Amino acid sequence: MRNELNRVVMRFPSKSINEGLARSGAAAFASQLDPTLDELGDIRTAVSEAVTNAIVHGYKDEIGEVIMTMKLFEGDEIEIVISDKGCGIPDIDQARQPLYTTGGAERSGMGFTIMESFMDSLKIKSAEGKGTTVTMRKRLNTRRYR
């Protein structure tokens, strides 16, 4: 693994209003690497999906804590980990299928697919009754060397 250059941890209640805070916080943290606007958009979108999943699916009808850990590594790589102590995912393979959702008719079931398409890697760990951890990584094509 590359040398870690910086790390920030944010903890917040699983309220939908905090999704925007997480999205903005991740973009601000990533901006240390002077990414393109498209890269910042990708990060915002992936974080939004991961945090929304924790709020909507992880805690369902209760308020819990969402933890977002962001790390920068040598080589212009960012890692963002979103974790909760919610209900967990019974079948990760099924949950990763496009259009599958446990959130009702208003949910698209595209969260993991979107995260995977906007980031270079996506790992999901979950245990029923213990929570879920989503780890996303992206190498940025920073402008500072151009």
Report angle CA 38, 43, 44 to the nearest 5 degrees.
95
Q: Where are the domains of the chain?
A: 4-139
Known active-site residue 18: no
Tell me if residue 14 falls in helix, strand or coil: coil
Q: What fold characterizes domain 4-139?
A: Heat Shock Protein 90 (3.30.565)
Q: Which of 96, 107, 137, 139 is catalytic?
A: 107
pTM value is 0.87
Known active-site residue 49: yes
Known active-site residue 53: yes
pLDDT on residue 97? 66
Per-residue pLDDT of the chain (146 residues; tens, 9 = 90+): 579 999 999 999 999 999 999 999 999 999 999 999 999 999 999 999 999 999 988 898 899 999 999 999 999 999 999 999 999 987 777 766 655 555 554 545 567 888 889 999 999 999 999 999 999 999 998 655 43
pLDDT on residue 145? 46
Q: Which of 19, 39, 49, 79 is catalytic?
A: 49
Distance, in Å, from the CA atom of 73 to the CA atom of 36, rounded to the nearest integer, reads 17
pLDDT on residue 110? 67
